[in-house]
Structure 1
Amino acid sequence: MAHLLGAESLHLEVPTKVVFDSVTLGVAEGDRIGIVGRNGDGKSSLLMMLAGRRDPDGGKVTMRGGTTIGVLDQADKFVDGETVGNAIVGDRPEYEWAGDARTRDVIAGLVKDLAWDAPVDSLSGGQRRRVALARLLVGDWEILALDEPTNHLDVEAIAWLANHLKRRWPQGQGALLVVTHDRWFLDEVCNTTWEVHDRIVEPFEGGYAAYILQRVERDRQAATIEQKRQNLARKELAWLRRGAPARTSKPKFRIDAANELIADVPEIRDRVSLQSMAVARLGKEVVNIVDVRVAYGDREVLDDVTWLLAPGERTGILGVNGAGKSTLLGLISGDVEPTSGQVKRGKTVKIATLTQQLDELEEHLNDPVRVVISRLRTSFTVGSGSKAQELTPGQLLEQMGFASAQLSTPVKDLSGGQKRRLQLLLILLDQPNVLILDEPTNDLDTDMLAAMEDLLDSWPGTLIVVSHDRYFLERVTDQQYAILKHHLRHLPGGVDEYLKLRAAEERESEAAGQQAGFAGSSAAASAQQISESSPASALVLPPGSAERRAVEKEQQAAERRLAKLDTEVKKLHARMADHDQSDYEGLGKIGDELRALEAEVNETEERWLELSEQLG
């Protein structure tokens, strides 16, 4: 593969430590590299040095002449007063960007629900992130450097982005560098993983599952790696191989060795013991939601919802932003009253919610971490049955990644990830028996996510999770529900089923929109006939003329052809995704067919625009 980008003997220091010391790396065509590591170890700094956005203190970064690189920062910056459309396509004329297949695909995939002339300043964080992504992806780049691209994106947008990146470049061309804590995304997109740790960058072949497998083997052979970290990785590998075996289909190394390595690792959760403990703590009745409807004025949010939460139930909730997920959580916690229907909670139920706002820490900001924890409980039980274990607050903090020196740090001086972990510990130490997690993975690196998952594996209670992190959702819950068209629907097929249902909803909406568009076109044509005598219509073909009928007929034929071409393009994309990725000749033929179709689409669209101008 042709070399694109290289780094030689990189050295980087910050006031308190050396981040990198003599790091040498290379990026070639076809590389799709995921960068992982603990918060603060230098992932974003490495990405920005490679992208030319940050100068190293030593060493150099070189790029092949003429190579273009597009960069997505963690901060989404826009010009004051800039509109969505201007932010994405600038001042390019509509016929130019609308005729570009990639631009149309990006706009449809990321911002189709946003008003084109809406000020970016008025958008939510998630909407601004999508606009920033769209602005970058409409460009033609040989290398993309993405820093946390999935932040604030929902499950659908993350799935779209993964699919876009997989087919953005032909096989063996282009390069991707991505820093993300989204492990599903890493598995779906990357063919190489770089782990940043201890001033070095260690490469691994394959995506996240492959990286975990190789890291476990590395840790097993290296006696210097701490036992706790090894056990977490082994446990996660057990889930990857048993719960989702397709995840490890990409690596080229032997799977038999991995199976032998985890042969003695038990199932990630002892469901029988946890269920028994949950019943003992909760009784048989937890929260019963029966025939509930919730509306705010004329806006209906939930309708005909019935859900009987069981002791020990572990459920994930999916839905687009604004679908009613927070309202559903509010019904469970008691913060939302139903417009109609009934919500009944068991007498022994004690509900706690891990919110996105870090509210639990407000009163403790000036206190050291050790003092905050010691005020609550002297011990905490993890595990169940014969494996139950009493941990002191200090041991629990250590399990969640707090070093002994950090125990004396005031809460206000902790990083975002440390505050998130402390927030969860405060809630668990209060011993609730129903736990609601609202986007719990924010600000956590992959190792800390694994530690949180390990802690939740031994937690005996009813767990409700709302998260855009697909990996986390599938890892800690046993079933998923979705809010679709105001109704709560069970998803036996999990997240994949949800994405299929949402795609079907989108197709229905598009079909309805096309019908409305045709009706609008007819009304516009009638208005045109009324004002036919005006000077502005001097170049428009007169109604009823033979020339106009011929043009109308040709335009209708062009519309039918565009619809057919769109279907054929989607089929080719599906063929390319399902095709053997090592069959370069076969992929090349599919790519040739795709380019020929896209060229015909462009020609047909240009002709349709010409005909539209003649019809007025």
Structure 2
Amino acid sequence: MILLQVAQIARLFGADVLFQNIQMEIDSHARIGLVGRNGAGKSTLLKIIAGLEEPDRGTISKNKQATLSYLAQDTGLISDKTVWEEMLDAFSSVRKMEARMREVELAISQISPSDSNYARLLKEYDQLQHEFAEKNGYGYENEIRSVLHGFQFDASFYDKAIATLSGGQKTRLALAKLLLQKPDILILDEPTNHLDIPTLSWLESYLQGYSGALLIVSHDRYFLDKVVNEVYEISRHKMRHYKGNYSRYLTMKAEQLTSEMKAYEKQQDQIAKLEDFVARNLVRASTTKRAQSRRKQLEKMDRLDRPQGDEKSAHFLFAIEKPSGNIVLQVEDGAIGYDAQHVLAEPIQLDIRKTEAVALVGPNGIGKSTLLKSIIHQLPFIRGKEQLGTNVTIGYYDQGQADLHSNKTILQELWDEHPTTPEVEIRNVLGGFLFSGQDVEKTIPLLSGGEKARVALAKLAMNQENFLILDEPTNHLDIDNKEVLENALIDYEGTLLFVSHDRYFINRVATKVVELSENGTRVYLGDYDYYLEKKQEERELQALLQDEQEEEVNPSAGKQSFQLSKEQQKQLRQARRKVEQIENQLAKLEDDIANYQTQMADPDILDDHVQLQKLNQQLEEAQEAQMTLLEEWEQESLILESLEE
């Protein structure tokens, strides 16, 4: 069922067009990712769809019964209530129903079955009970606890006033409340900002099972791959639709560009031949008529525009002035924190060698940025110390861009640190980071987060150090510029140590993952996916060891547990196969639905009412089957989730 339609939407700023002719459909189980460059108009479009802004042209049609909620990026929850009280508000209708049930129960207990109101009260109570159960009335408090736990809020936060919490905590609570409210259409603008990797993984799993429709703007490609199954791209004022997750979108986009380029080149070749024939034969009596025919053919031809590839991206490299020795950094038995009584993590062991790319991961607040600052001497180690290797020179990227000067222009920011470098070379470097012409005269305070990030990276590139320490380098960068940064770091001949929550980025760049916890560091010799595999193996091994310990204490219980485990494994395999079968059937139905819709848009079929009616019937049957399968998929997914816990 279609919940919302966007038709021919446009946003104009005087004569300038931000976007136009925007079309979109959101059905009841949509999983849509909206992508595009910073400044392309993604957030503006979300606000228009959410009804917060009016379009300059076009219309938004929403199902009157459908509920819609929108969360802007970095929006914190503003409330004078406690965390628990605010989350309970998400179930206000359920709690009113619960209160009415208590009233009816009391009324029933106080009157005789022969009373004329008795039957009416019983009927009302049955209806209330049924609706209360459907809306998870008996389990909503557990649901609140589950969602708060997913966002890293334990019971100690429940009674805290929201006004006393940090900005990041308020942002997570705003998203938590929206998830608990379960609107039919949930619109999220950069929901992954400020979430650590464990929270991101939990949110992905939650959204995969979300009952309503999702429309999401995110620069987190790993997140998009896990959550969405269709992508709308805003580029050059227009929008295109692609079926599949983010990786599939990239493949389809490349294939589409190749196909369009071939069609364009083929037509250009045809035009050249026709024009050549006309030029050679128009004045010759024997071939004039054929030349005139070719000229008419040229005049009537619907000429294709040359396909435009990707919009202009940054292009840069990180060079090194001189190589380091083989040993780059060693830390033995390190401890980091605020003071000896408040240690965040220890013992920290690091052994980083030349050309390694080391990703430092761990939950928010564990001290990842603190460790980087201890290595570069901005903060002291509480215990232990770092030892740099021969000829090691450090370049540091601060996620807050604290090293940028607020009173300087972009050009001055680089030139003051490299006064002997000719201005033209500085401008060439800045051009590689998309600052050209008068852009370089902008002062730092006037820049957006993405522009400040590019200035900081430009400074880093100019310094040519052989050991780069990067704290969240992809923050504020759009997807295209993230990919440019990734490629530059992959080609970098020096050594990398970086903190990032961008798992796609870690996968592409890292050769080693170091996990930081309160118990110190653990090393995993591979990318992020390898790290996940090893963590899963560790959990399974831990569970096996626990079973063995239980068996030693109680052999009969151990044998019983083993048999139960075998049965659970069998059920788990069956559940996974069932879910996979349903997903395959859904994929085929999606292709069929897209095919029917394409055929129905064909001008020839639009004039053939019999064929159009037949296709419409097939489309409705496919959509009905899709709805049935989606309900079955949700049920089986819940079973699978319970077995995997």
TM-score, structure 2 length as denominator? 0.67
- Measured in 2, the distance between the counterparts of 1:369 and 1:83 equals 44
Is the 2:32–2:232 Cα contact (8 Å) retained in structure 1?
yes
Residue of structure 1 equivalent to 2:132: none
Residue 217 of structure 1 and its aligned partner are, at CA, apart by 3.0
Match of 1:198 in 2: 236
Secondary structure of 1:282's aligned partner = coil
What CA deviation, in whole Å up to 9, does each residue of 1:213-234 have, x standing for no partner?
222234444485677869999x
Distance 1:494 1:454, change over 3 A: closer
Structure-1 residue corresponding to 2:205 = 163
- Does residue 343 of structure 2 align to residue 300 of structure 1? yes
C-alpha distance after superposition, 1:228-262 (max 9, x if no partner)? 869999x9xxxxxxxxxxxxxxxxxxxxxxxxxxx
Correspondence for 1:62: 61
1:152 CA drift (Å): 0.5
Alpha-carbon distance in structure 1 between the residues aligned to 2:370 and 2:472 = 15
Secondary structure of the structure 2 residue equivalent to 1:48: helix
Paired with 1:118 and 1:97, the residues of 2 have a C-alpha distance of 25
Aligned-partner SS, 2:250 = helix
CA change 1:416–1:596 in 2 (3 A) is closer
Please give the residue correspondences for 1:87-236 in structure 2 after superposition, counting only pairs within 5 Å: 87-90=86-89, 92=92, 99-100=139-140, 102-113=143-154, 115-169=157-211, 174-220=212-258, 221-222=260-261, 224=306
2:86 and 2:456 mapped to 1: Cα distance? 37
Q: Pick from 512, 515, 521 the counterpart of residue 488 of structure 1.
A: 521
Which of 434, 459, 463 aligns to 1:426? It is: 459
Change (3 A) 1:16 1:288: farther
SS of 2:225's partner is: helix
How far residue 330 of structure 1 moved from its aligned partner, in angstroms, is: 2.7
Code of the residue aligned with 1:306 in structure 2: it is Q
2:326 to 280, 284, 296: 284
Residue 46 of structure 1 and its aligned partner are, at CA, apart by 0.8
Displacement of 1:118: 1.2
1:521 corresponding residue in structure 2: none
- Which shows bigger deviation, 431-440 or 313-322? 431-440
Q: Is the 8 A contact 2:314 2:434 kept in 1?
A: no
Q: Is contact 2:321-2:464 (8 Å) kept?
A: no
Q: In the superposition, relative to structure 1, how do residues 347 and 15 fare at CA in structure 2: closer, same or farther (>3 Å)? A: farther
Query: Which region of structure 1 is more displaced relative to structure 2, 588-597 or 307-316?
Result: 588-597
- 2-side partners of 1:469 and 1:571: how far apart? 31
Alignment-mate amino acid for residue 484 of structure 1: S
Distance 1:596 1:287 in 2: 48
Task: Say if 1:409 and 1:294 are closer, same or farther in 2 by CA, change over 3 A.
Answer: closer
Q: Distance in 2 between matches of 1:194 and 1:460?
A: 37
* Partner of residue 261, structure 1: none
Post-superposition Cα deviations, 1:544-576, rounded to whole Å, max 9, x if no partner, equal xxxxxxxxxxxxxxxxxxxxxx99999998677
Moved more, 351-360 or 148-157: 351-360
Residues 231 and 77 of structure 1, relative CA distance in 2, 3 Å threshold: closer
Q: Measured at CA, do residues 195 and 395 of structure 1 come closer, stay the same or move farther in structure 2, by a change above 3 Å?
A: farther
Higher radius of gyration, 1 or 2: 2
Query: 1:582 & 1:451 partners in 2: Cα distance?
Result: 35
Aligned-residue offset at 1:369? 2.5
Q: Deviations over 1:483-524 (max 9, x none)?
A: 134221112464356557878999999xxxxxxxxxxxxxxx
Does the CA contact (< 8 Å) of 2:321 and 2:465 recur in 1?
no
> Match of 1:489, as an amino acid?
R
Distance 1:139 1:574, change over 3 A: farther
1:291-370 aligned within 5 A: 291-294=333-336, 296-362=339-405, 365-370=406-411
Distance 1:372 1:428 in 2: 13
Deviation string, structure 1 residues 181-208 (Cα, Å, up to 9, x no partner)? 0011111111111111221111122222
Task: State which of 449, 452, 456 in structure 2 corresponds to 1:416.
Answer: 449
CA positional deviation for 1:597: 11
Aligned length: 489
* Cα offsets for 1:433-479 (capped at 9, x unmatched): 21111112221111111222233233222111111111112222222
TM-score normalised by L of structure 1: 0.70
Q: Deviations over 1:130-188 (max 9, x none)?
A: 2111100011322111110001001111111111111122xxxx321100100111111
Q: Aligned pair in 2 of structure 1 residues 456, 194: CA closer, same or farther (>3 Å)?
A: same
- 8 Å CA contact 2:427–2:436 kept in 1: the answer is no
What amino acid is aligned across from residue 431 of structure 2 in structure 1? E
Report deviation, 1:378: 9.0
Counterpart residue identity of residue 320, structure 1: P
Classify 1:198/1:590 alpha carbon distance in 2 versus 1 (closer, same or farther; 3 Å).
closer
Question: Residues 504 and 89 from structure 1, CA distance in 2 versus in 1: closer, same or farther, beyond 3 angstroms?
Answer: farther
CA distance in 1, matches of 2:53, 2:311: 32
- Which 5+ residue runs of structure 2 have no aligned equivalent? 99-135, 265-305, 543-567, 587-627
Q: Is the 8 A contact 2:34 2:217 kept in 1?
A: yes
- Aligned letter for 1:161? L
Give ranges in structure 1 of 5+ residues lacking alignment. Answer: 236-268, 381-390, 510-565, 600-616
Letter of the structure 2 residue corresponding to residue 356 of structure 1: Q
SS at match of 2:209: helix
Q: Which AA in structure 2 matches 1:62?
A: S
Partner SS state of residue 327, structure 2:
coil
Distance 2:571 2:88 in 1: 24
Contact 1:300 1:486 in 2 (8 A): no
Distance 2:182 2:529 in 1: 30
> What's 1:553 paired with?
none
Post-superposition offset of 1:300: 3.0
**Please, what is the CA RMSD of the aligned residues?**
4.0
**Separation in structure 2 between the aligned mates of residue 231 and residue 194 of structure 1, nearest angstrom:** 20
The change in CA–CA distance for 1:586 and 1:13 in structure 2 (over 3 A counts) is: closer
Alpha-carbon distance between aligned partners in 2 of 1:182 and 1:571, rounded to the nearest angstrom: 31
Q: State whether structure 2 residue 452 is matched by structure 1 residue 450.
A: no
Q: Are residues 1:21 and 2:20 paired?
A: yes
Indicate how the Cα distance of structure 1 residues 492 and 460 shifts in structure 2: closer, same or farther if over 3 A, else same.
closer
- Corresponding residue for 2:9? 10
How far is 1:596 from its partner?
9.5
Specify whether residues 500 and 598 from structure 1 end up closer, same or farther in structure 2 by C-alpha distance, changes over 3 A only: closer
Say which is worse superposed, 324-333 or 42-51, in terms of deviation.
324-333
Aligned twin of 1:243: none
Tell me the distance in 2 between the aligned counterparts of 1:465 and 1:570. Answer: 38
Instruction: Supply the distance in 2 between the matched residues of 1:314 and 1:471 (Cα, whole angstroms).
Output: 14
2:585 to 564, 583, 586: 583
Contact 2:329–2:387, Cα closer than 8 Å, also in 1: yes
Structure 2 residue matching 1:286: 3-state secondary structure: strand
Looking at structure 1, the residues matched to 474 and 577 of structure 2 have their Cα atoms a distance apart, in angstroms, of 34
Kept after mapping to 2: 8 A contact 1:579/1:587: no
Q: How far did residue 326 of structure 1 move?
A: 2.2
Counterpart-to-counterpart distance in 2, 1:87 and 1:199: 40
With over 3 angstroms needed to count, the CA separation of the structure-2 counterparts of 1:379 and 1:211, relative to structure 1, is farther
3-state SS in 2 of match to 1:281: coil
- Rounded to whole Å, the distance in 2 between the matches of 1:33 and 1:415 is 26
CA distance in 2, matches of 1:227, 1:596: 45
Q: Please name the residue that 1:252 is paired with.
A: none
Q: Is the 8 A contact 1:129 1:151 kept in 2?
A: no
- Mapped partners of 1:228, 1:8: distance in 2: 25
SS at match of 2:39: coil
